[in-house]
Amino acid sequence: MNKPIPTPKACYLIKDKTYAYCTCNHSITKPYCDGSHKGTQHKPLLFKVPKNEKTFLCTCGSTKDAPYCDGSH
């Protein structure tokens, strides 16, 4: 059975709200942190946006522009 191809998550982000982007790749709510990193050396990437925006967040962990998808998948 083939592994599913990772796809970016389309998100609507709210100005000045703090988001926690998963960097450990264990969250079941990717791209957002769900606390599954506890007990590892990973920590979520906290970020805000300067205005309300629609964007694509990385779910494959290969981006060089976290939390945003850069097409690396």
Footprint of ligand FES (CB under 6 A): 22-24, 26-27, 33-37, 42, 44
| Least gap, CB of 40 to ligand FES (angstroms) | 8
| Least gap, CB of 15 to ligand FES (angstroms) | 23
User: How far apart are alpha carbons 58 and 24 in whole angstroms?
Assistant: 12
| Least gap, CB of 61 to ligand FES (angstroms) | 10
When the beta carbons of 55 and 61 are compared against ligand FES, the nearer one is 61
